């Protein structure tokens, strides 16, 4: 359509003898697409969450969308596409039009750990995406059912050496966390996979598995409600929400895995769109009410620039891949 209009105007100007005007008009019209993002967005924006409702990614996406929609003056819609450790939803966005209207809630599970777990990953976690911003980091907690006989992490480790236990995992990161725990502590346990962490929590509560490493945001309500017992924390310092729970380091087990959650778009999304979204979300995270909501679930605000986040995701891919190798996990 653009070139049809250009041709029609060019013929009119040539008839009038205005060749110089034609050159100027052509250059201006051909440059127009470069400014196509000036009015972004003009329609609803979708954030794909590659996990089930109730997951850390889902919770983060819904917090952000509540505030982002009014700032962009368009609806921001959440679409859950769970399965295959988050790779189904991530691959979907990696193939989407790079126009800024289809985004994905990324995490250390989908974009750091997956290369170590899947031989035929349907996307490249760094090359197929434009990583926009890191939103939060989320330490993990080792938990058991409240009526479990294991009062401490050492109780669980000792019991596993007598009879192998079963641990649930609902993400790539919780899988690597469970395997790392076995490696550094000498625990004997078999991993049981789930589509996401909430179903894994359900089976832990039902007594179908013995323990779970889960994002604090997913299990905080169950610990506070007395349904789960927290045994160990994965961050370097104790949780402000659960200050009585020791860290893995305190228990003598080297363990420094912390989950991150961010936002990304398809790789060829215009830089102007990425910078706009980064700026808007950074402002959202400055709101004390938003910060309080995240922090009440054990999430730590961790916004960064687009350039910083690109470097961060590259480094985290190395970190989680090495942890998987160290834990003896082989890609499937």
Beta bridge partners of 262: 106, 134
Q: Please state, for a pLDDT cut of 90, what percent of the chain lies above it.
A: 63
**Whole-angstrom Cα distance, residue 172 to residue 195?**
10
Residues 195 and 175 in one domain: yes
- If you average pLDDT over residues 114-137, what whole number do you get? 93
Considering the domain architecture, whether residues 119 and 151 belong to the same structural domain is answered as no
Q: Are 116 and 176 in contact (CB under 8 A)?
A: yes
- Whether 147 has a pLDDT exceeding 70, the answer reads yes
Spatial distance between the Cα atoms of 170 and 275, rounded to a whole number of angstroms:
32
One domain for residues 75 and 123: yes
CATH of the domain at 144: 3.40.190.10
Q: Please write the tens of the pLDDT for every residue from 2-36.
A: 334 434 444 444 444 444 443 433 333 333 343 34
pLDDT value of position 279: 98
Whether residues 118 and 263 fall in one domain: yes
* Pair 27, 51 in one domain: no
Residue 37 has pLDDT above 80, yes or no: no
Q: How many percent of the chain have pLDDT more than 70? A: 89
pLDDT at residue 118 above 60?
A: yes
- Residue 263 and residue 131 in one domain: yes
Token pair belonging to 237: 């310092």
Judgement on whether residues 194 and 152 belong to the same structural domain of the protein: yes
Residue 332 vs residue 209, higher pLDDT: 209
Per-residue pLDDT of 168-221, as tens digits, reads 998 888 889 999 999 999 999 999 998 888 899 999 999 999 999 998 888 999
pLDDT higher for 239 or 135? Answer: 135
| Whether residue 144 sits in one domain with residue 131 | no
Q: pTM for the whole thing?
A: 0.78
Mean pLDDT lowest among 4-18, 113-127, 310-324: 4-18
Average pLDDT estimate for 105-134 = 93
Q: Which residue, 269, 259, 262, is CA-closest to 94?
A: 269
Task: Give the number of domains in the chain.
Answer: 3
**What pLDDT does 323 receive?**
87
* Domain residue limits at 166: 139-233
Alpha-carbon distance of 23 to 31, in angstroms, equals 12
The torsion defined by the Cα of 85, 68, 286 and 112, in degrees rounded to 10, comes to 20
Task: Give the largest Cα separation in the chain, rounded.
Answer: 94
Mean pLDDT of the residues in the chain: 87
Residue 261: per-residue pLDDT:
95
Q: Are residues 60 and 16 in the same domain?
A: no
Say what the pLDDT of residue 91 is: 96
pLDDT of residue 259: 87
With respect to residue 306, please indicate whether it lies within any of the assigned structural domains.
Answer: yes
């Amino acid at each position: 359509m653009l070139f049809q209009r250009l041709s029609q105007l060019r013929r009119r100007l040539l008839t009038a003898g205005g060749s110089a005007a034609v050159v100027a008009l052509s250059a201006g019209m051909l440059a127009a697409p470069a400014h196509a993002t000036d009015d972004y967005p003009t329609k609803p924006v979708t954030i794909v969450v590659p996990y089930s409702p109730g997951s850390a990614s889902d919770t983060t996406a819904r917090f952000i969308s509540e505030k982002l929609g009014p700032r962009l003056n368009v609806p921001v819609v959440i679409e859950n596409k769970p399965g295959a450790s988050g790779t189904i939803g991530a691959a979907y966005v990696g193939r989407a039009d790079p126009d800024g209207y289809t985004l994905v809630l990324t995490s250390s599970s989908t974009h750091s750990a997956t290369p170590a777990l899947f031989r035929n990953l349907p996307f490249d976690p760094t090359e197929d995406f434009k990583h926009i911003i890191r939103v939060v980091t989320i330490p993990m907690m080792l938990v058991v059912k409240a009526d479990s006989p294991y009062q401490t992490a050492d109780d669980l480790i000792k019991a596993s050496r007598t009879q192998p236990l079963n641990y649930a995992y609902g993400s790539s990161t919780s899988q690597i966390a469970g395997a790392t725990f076995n490696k550094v502590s000498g625990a004997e346990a078999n991993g049981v996979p789930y589509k996401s962490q909430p179903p894994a929590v359900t089976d832990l509560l039902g007594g179908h598995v013995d323990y779970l490493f889960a994002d604090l945001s997913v299990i905080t309500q169950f610990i506070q409600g007395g349904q789960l017992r927290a045994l160990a924390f994965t961050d370097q310092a104790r949780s402000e929400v659960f200050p009585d729970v020791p860290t893995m380091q305190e228990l003598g087990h080297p363990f420094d895995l912390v989950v991150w959650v961010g936002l990304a778009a398809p790789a060829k999304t215009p830089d102007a769109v990425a910078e706009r979204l980064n700026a808007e979300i950074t402002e959202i995270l400055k709101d004390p009410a938003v910060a309080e909501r995240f922090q009440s679930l054990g999430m730590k605000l961790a916004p960064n620039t687009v350039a910083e986040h690109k470097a961060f995701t590259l480094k985290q891919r190395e970190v989680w891949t090495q942890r998987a190798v160290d834990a003896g996990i082989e890609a499937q």
